[in-house]
Structure 1
Amino acid sequence: MKKYVLPLLLLIAITTQKLGAQGILHTQGEKIVNDRGENVLFRGIGLGGYMLQEGYMLHLGKDGQQHKIRERIARLLTPAQTQEFYDTWLAHHTTKADIDSLKAWGFNQVRLPMHFNLYTLPADKEPVPGQQTWLDKGFTMTDSLVAWCKAAGIYLILDLHAAPGGQGNDLNISDRDGDKPSLWQQVADQDKTVALWKKLATRYAHEATIAGYDLLNEPNWGFDNQEKDPNGIGEKTNGPLKALLVRITEAIRSVDKEHIIIIEGNAWGNNYNGMLNDGLWDKNMVLSFHKYWNNNDTASIGHMLRYRQRLQVPIWLGETGENSNTWFTDAITLFESNNIGWSWWPLKKLGINNPLQIPSNKGYDALVDYWNGKRSTPPDADSAYHALLELANATDIRHNIVHRDVIDAMIRQPHSLEAIAFKANIAAPGTTIAAADYDLGRNGVAYFDKDSGNYRISTGHASVGNRGGVYRNDGVDIYNDTAHTNAYYVGHTEDGEWLQYNITVTDTRNYALQTLVRGEGQFQWTENGKALTPPQSSPAGTAWQAVSTTKVHLVKGRHQLRLQVLKGGFDFAALKF
């Protein structure tokens, strides 16, 4: 994939349907339905990194809370430059073009992770204690997003991602200051949270584009035992969490009787112990759960299926992602076969496992090395300023790298066992197919790789997809070829793995095939399932070498070629005709 934005509206052509005429969504037993009683299945994505930065999205290690990131920047830049960086970030990260692209690709829902500090002052900064000062910035941004979603025909879910005081001990996700009382330790923060939701519900009470209110993202707090269970994994009652969610619900219902209320359990959204013993406290409620790095089987969602059946309430996978394409496809297949809507995380960041990738720059890479302790001296202030401003501008979709493989894995592959061409590979004298440009499709359909995702929660040991971490997000291990600009190769090959290429042969004739490889191993090319070449050896050594086979007869038309790894250990860069 080239490092430029592909035509945004040509990847998937689908009909735009306006939401306004459908009315506000509501629940009906185990389903979310529109005003015609039709089942609505969310295929959504979260705007992580937009209003709320997390360190890992910026390749930062420790101290990944947004306020810590801002402190780092402020030590290098002037206050005006620091503010310019954040203003530029917010102006470019999410635009109408992002929403239009999501619609064109096949998504129908967006989740907005809100940071409270764009809407109101922190409780300890209020001029009059207990009073609520409202800020225009967050509401104006939300209004714009509502308008873009309405025009595109996409539902919007409001998600309080960073609550006043912070809702857990996983500090980064809520930008919590661990030196201050949390949301659970300060009544003023709880009051502000309730007031914010009432303000939002008042503003959007009659807006059909908004699908629901996700009251509190990933609470993770040990109410019974902070020392031994800081994130509430073993919590049995979750009393304070339920009490706050009930308060928020009552405040919303005082001004908005219609919109869906979405709640999340403790322990990053999954521990509902004690919260539902007396049933639901609202007739228009959805239970959300989050799912990361575990197996994609019925057992992994069994607890939520049981809640759904017992309480006759819809369930929604409110956040998941950060894995390989294989994991994505398998997860979505699981969800949709159980009529569970989903919202991926995130739309964009620095990294390949999202639809859009924010490109870094050399100046910012140097800053990251300094902040992560890999260099002792910081870049000079002028270099830091220009690097950060370049990064903020690069968040704009016009400068993002579009990962078609990720989009395909989420939208097409859960419903298809077909492999399609990643690029228009032409077989003619003098043409070359890059190794990394194998077909789009499921593992076992477009390629076969033995280590295709991260299942560490289920397996107890580290596992990965693409070990090289560049270019594509399948299980295939792709690495930068440092000797060639913007070139990639496939490495870490293992016995039995294979790569498939849909190609178009322009002329019936004999060809010489040259396979560019290095490192000891053995491979064979097949055509439409039959041997095309004899087994070939990749020579030992670190230099790239072209292994040639002459008089390979190819007939004009479409073909599927596969590189079969007979004995792994070699690297593969390209096939030349």
Structure 2
Amino acid sequence: MKRQVCIWVAGMVLCVAPLGSVVRGEGFLRAQGDRIVDGRGREVLLRGMGLGGWMLQEGYMLRLKGENPQHRIRSRIVELLGPEATERFYTLWRDRHMTEADVETLARAGFNSIRLPMHFNLFTLPVEEEPDPDGQTWLPTGFEMIDRLLSWCRPRKIYVILDLHAAPGGQGHDVNICDRDTNKPSLWECARNRAKTVALWRKLAERYANEPWIGGYDLINEPNWSFEGRERHGREDQTNAPLWALYREITRAIREVDRNHMIILGGNGWGNNYRGFPGPWDDNLVLSFHKYWNPNTEEAIAPYLELRRRYGVPIWLGESGENSNDWFRECVALVERHRIGWAWWPHKKVESRSCVYTVEPPAEYRELLAYWHGQGPRPTREVAVRALFGLVENLRAERCRYNEDVVRALIPEPGPR
């Protein structure tokens, strides 16, 4: 039997278990000192998977090249199928992409958390479609998807971390990750978009305030916007004042209805620029960073370790992946050595072996891609139907290729269930 160790952190006793011995928690997660603990005060090392592609399509996951935010993908499908068939395609996409079988696979593999990338338009109307400019219209689809995911995660002791991946208006110049329409005002250019973002988080917090298997609220995924006229993605901004101000406003709205859940922040410049951070304004904050295509060295994570040391708050690797198994193994070993939890990206992609499940497209899908890339003729409607509805059927876990080598690079042995 492994024994707990009690240490002093910021004037309080924190009981932690040896690394790796507590991987499935019970009760609400919260920040305690610079660690994440469960409802019994036990440290929880988050080992998570990001569900990229389910609520929000990114073109590269479908093997599309270049700029392909979801609204453009959808318009291309409408061109080939018409609006009614396109709506049916997206309904089936949401039904097939993530099922109880997927959650069972993750649980058996040893994952204890899921990061859910959300598109705001499954929860509320865009500001330009609101009948009342000062009101919010709520849509059932997104909430029902969360509820369904929770029903699968709850019995398997898997936490669901809500991640606003596509904020109203779009939070950056990387349009693919946030489905931004550059013909409309961004999140940062429109006060109504920011008000809708705040209202959405308040609505989510109100609905899930008493749900312990919601692990936390990841407020805005990878903001990448220069507020100071520097590098356009915000990597060189020095104060990031509008970002911190919006985070504070969202926090106040959440705390009006929910005192239970962790609030997770990400810096500018795709999540990693924390210059100007004023320090914690809430006693249950976690700072997130993202890590792609850089060395797995102490130097690579030193800025985030310093944030943890300086402010005495937990840090979390909220997104990483898209590399080789050797890189995966080294990255996980590095962050876990420093008691940092993580969420990998993504769970499922078309014709990729760097994820848990590889989706094999039907033969007709290649004709579709050739047309969309300007390398082939327009397919007939019949071919487009077989390509797209065949693809959506192949999203089912039982039709995908399971990449155990990827899973074991992340978690060599499954944790206790």
Same-fold call, TM cutoff 0.5? yes
Q: Choose the corresponding residue for 2:92, options 88, 93, 113.
A: 88
Q: Distance in 2 between matches of 1:365 and 1:16?
A: 45
Q: Deviations over 1:226-254 (max 9, x none)?
A: xx511001000001001100000000000
Q: SS of the counterpart of 1:75?
A: helix
Paired AA for residue 220 in structure 1:
N
Q: Distance in 1 between matches of 2:80 and 2:161?
A: 36
Calculate the TM-score normalised by the size of structure 2.
0.92
Q: Distance in 1 between matches of 2:288 and 2:23?
A: 26
Determine the structure 2 residue equivalent to 1:219: 223
Q: Choose the corresponding residue for 2:242, options 229, 235, 240.
A: 240
Following superposition, the deviation at residue 86 of structure 1 comes to 0.6
Q: Distance in 1 between matches of 2:23 and 2:63?
A: 38
Following superposition, the deviation at residue 36 of structure 1 comes to 2.0
Determine the structure 1 residue equivalent to 2:211: 207
Q: Are positions 1:373 and 2:374 aligned together?
A: yes
Q: Are positions 1:348 and 2:348 aligned together?
A: yes
Contact 2:49 2:115 in 1 (8 A): yes
Q: Distance in 2 between matches of 1:213 and 1:414?
A: 26
Q: SS of the counterpart of 1:140?
A: helix
Q: Deviations over 1:90-110 (max 9, x none)?
A: 000001111111000111100
Q: Which runs of 5+ in 2 are unaligned?
A: 1-20
Change (3 A) 1:17 1:338: closer
Q: Are positions 1:142 and 2:108 aligned together?
A: no
Following superposition, the deviation at residue 62 of structure 1 comes to 2.4
Following superposition, the deviation at residue 35 of structure 1 comes to 2.2
Q: Distance in 1 between matches of 2:293 and 2:387?
A: 33
Determine the structure 2 residue equivalent to 1:188: 192
Determine the structure 1 residue equivalent to 2:253: 251
Determine the structure 2 residue equivalent to 1:33: 37
Q: Distance in 1 between matches of 2:327 and 2:373?
A: 29
Q: Distance in 1 between matches of 2:263 and 2:393?
A: 35
Contact 2:165 2:220 in 1 (8 A): yes
Q: Distance in 1 between matches of 2:113 and 2:249?
A: 27
More strand per residue: 1
Contact 1:280 1:311 in 2 (8 A): yes
Count of residues in correspondence between the two structures: 394
Paired residues for 1:354-393 under 5 Å: 354-375=355-376, 377-393=377-393
Contact 1:160 1:215 in 2 (8 A): yes
Paired AA for residue 236 in structure 2:
G
Q: Distance in 2 between matches of 1:187 and 1:17?
A: 41
Paired residues for 1:405-416 under 5 Å: 405-412=405-412
Q: Aligned residues: percent identity? A: 51
Q: CA RMSD in A?
A: 1.6
Q: Distance in 1 between matches of 2:252 and 2:83?
A: 41
Q: Are positions 1:108 and 2:130 aligned together?
A: no
Q: Deviations over 1:10-45 (max 9, x none)?
A: xxxxx99986xx321111111001122211000001
Contact 2:23 2:44 in 1 (8 A): no
Q: Distance in 2 between matches of 1:64 and 1:130?
A: 31
Determine the structure 2 residue equivalent to 1:295: 295
Question: Which portions of structure 1, spanning 4 or more consecutive aligned residues, are displaced by more than 6 angstroms?
Answer: 15-18
Contact 2:23 2:112 in 1 (8 A): no
Following superposition, the deviation at residue 414 of structure 1 comes to 12
Q: Deviations over 1:280-300 (max 9, x none)?
A: 111100000000000000100
Q: Distance in 2 between matches of 1:273 and 1:18?
A: 34
Following superposition, the deviation at residue 170 of structure 1 comes to 0.3
Q: SS of the counterpart of 2:182?
A: coil
Q: Which runs of 5+ in 1 are unaligned?
A: 1-14, 416-577
Change (3 A) 1:180 1:106: same
Paired residues for 1:502-513 under 5 Å: none
RCO higher in structure (CA 8 A, sep ≥6): 2
Q: SS of the counterpart of 1:51?
A: coil
Following superposition, the deviation at residue 189 of structure 1 comes to 0.3
Q: Are positions 1:273 and 2:275 aligned together?
A: yes
Q: Distance in 2 between matches of 1:60 and 1:322?
A: 16
Determine the structure 2 residue equivalent to 1:486: none
Contact 1:16 1:152 in 2 (8 A): no
Q: Deviations over 1:111-156 (max 9, x none)?
A: 0000000000001100111210000011011111111110111011
Q: Distance in 1 between matches of 2:296 and 2:149?
A: 32
Q: Distance in 2 between matches of 1:330 and 1:403?
A: 18
Paired AA for residue 99 in structure 1:
V
Paired AA for residue 151 in structure 1:
P
Determine the structure 1 residue equivalent to 2:9: none
Q: Are positions 1:324 and 2:328 aligned together?
A: no
Contact 1:123 1:130 in 2 (8 A): no
Following superposition, the deviation at residue 413 of structure 1 comes to 7.8
Determine the structure 2 residue equivalent to 1:151: 155
